[in-house]
Chain A
């Protein structure tokens, strides 16, 4: 028989007490796993949501006269610019070091052209990219599928008196309205959206691009670095990161993390105290037994070893069950807490972390009772006659 046999036998044959101890640990670890997992999943979801909000960088040609604000952009500003970017510039964005982080590159050409005889802003876009970036757009009708199809902003449609399916003339070229963007309250409402290459042809500006919007789809994107890398590739341009969006996203994520960490810490302390008290009372109940160990020649270190081994074994069981219970709990709790669809994947790293935390918690809580046990005077413990 070795020391661990004594510890294991005690656990095996005092099932009720040990079950109580394990239960305490399971609750603690499960709570931490739930918080950690839900927070992690929420961080990801929030990050994704923010990424979906739209571009977080705009690229415009570097000219004195040009306004860089998309909301404030006017066709004449852009059209009157000294020079435009080209499709080659667009392609170069895909060659930066952090290209993996870039989700959508949406080049645009902005012109003022006669539409059914009325001078109106017409924006050429690659519909596939633009619709990916503006995922919140709601269309009456459908997205354009052919080069001669256009989308109308809500106000532009009103002004032109058009509905989906109607024909529309842009600078002498016949087009068809495939859909109308419902009111967004922004610049898009009064714009006619045509295919980029089609507009380039109509306006006689082949390959020309007025500005580019870029969305970096990642959750802790090094936006500053990406901005610098694009600037380097496109020397004649001005790349602006939309700081507010980035900052707000970061703040949101950080606050969730902090909440998770604080609550986990509190649960950890409470859990440790529960284990400590239970271990303490278990040690007190075993006073005579420890006295016998000492009387027959067990050193203090042997007694400490036995108690810590028990704490360790219970912690491993508690950690494992706590992880499983926590994952199950997270799957139920995550959508309720986050108020959104949250994916909770099985994660071996979280499992190992749960076990690690449980063992550290168990050993830390077992240390004091173990030393108390070892300090017991065998004579007092046995109380002869």
Chain B
């Protein structure tokens, strides 16, 4: 069964000078355990698509079904609960909370789950070790390197063990060495069964992912989809 089923979604922004179509009818499916790169030039609609998949941006038409749930039939608050349970996000520029330590940043998604502090700490410590940050739990974001901050961001995104991990330009702020390491981390997580959808500009990483979805002017770029596994 497909984990994600995007069916003919459109997004039209109405502005003062007419309307702008950000997405013009996009459909695809993502099976469980996949590692998908979402590529396209600036303004192509890929960020709109990512937030739409992330249950934060309702489509003008069409549907997004994740694990059998029609995400946008849920109320805004139920969608917040859905994000907490199903989705992990690695944002651009890490987006760590500056006044929380690495450990506390990772515990953040657990704060609303009702788990005990002890259980939260155990989970956060485990996942920080998994991303290679064992022993740096007490550091504040400004006491860590870019690569380390990115790892904290990834740890925060997966601590809840969400079925899907979204990453938005996860290596955009890193040098090539750190970028390579982060890509290896993603591959490792994927091998362990984590479904990952990643927005990237970096062509080099296409070799690491299982599939790539190209998007241009709000529609899938069929000319660049030689891979028949993508249902378009």
Residues of A near any B CB (own CB < 8 A): 1-3, 5-6, 9-10, 12-14, 288-289, 292-302, 377-379, 382, 384-385
Contact = CB atoms under 8 A, between A and B. Distances in A.
Given A5-B104, A379-B57, A384-B47, A295 B89 contact: yes
A357 to B, nearest CB: 28
Interface string B60-101: 000000000000000011001111110111011001011110
Contact of A302 (B50, B82, B89, B112): B112
B99 A14 contact: yes
Contacts of A299: 77, 80-81, 112
Interface in B86-138: 87-89, 91-92, 95, 97-100, 104, 107-112, 117, 120
A1 B51 contact: no
Contact of A385 (B42, B80, B98, B112): B42
Given A1-B111, A1-B120, A295 B91 contact: yes
Nearest to A296: B109
19 contacts: A1-B107, A1-B110, A1-B120, A2-B117, A3-B112, A9-B99, A13-B99, A13-B140, A292-B91, A295-B83, A295-B89, A296-B108, A297-B81, A299-B81, A301-B77, A379-B56, A382-B91, A382-B92, A385-B168
Contacts of B92: 382, 384-385
Contacts of A379: 51, 56-57
Interface residues of B, number: 40
A21 to B, nearest CB: 15
B169 interface: yes
Contacts of A295: 54, 56, 83, 89, 91
B46 interface: yes
Interface in B138-159: 140, 156
Contact of A297 (B97, B99, B109): B109
B196 interface: no
B37 interface: no
Contact of A294 (B50, B80, B156): B80
A384 B90 CA distance: 11
B213 interface: no
A6 B99 CA distance: 9
Interface of B: 42, 46-47, 50-51, 54, 56-57, 76-77, 80-85, 87-89, 91-92, 95, 97-100, 104, 107-112, 117, 120, 140, 156, 168-169, 199
The secondary structure that dominates the B interface is helix
A234 B150 CA distance: 93
Contact of B77 (A9, A293, A300): A300
Contacts of A6: 97, 100, 108, 111
A2 B111 contact: yes
Contacts of B104: 1, 5, 9
Interface centre among B81, B95, B110 (most CB of A within 10 A): B95
A378 B168 CA distance: 14
Nearest to A14: B99
B46 A297 contact: no
Contact of A5 (B85, B111, B140, B199): B111
Contacts of B111: 1-3, 5-6
B98 to A, nearest CB: 8
A292 B91 CA distance: 9
B169 A12 contact: no
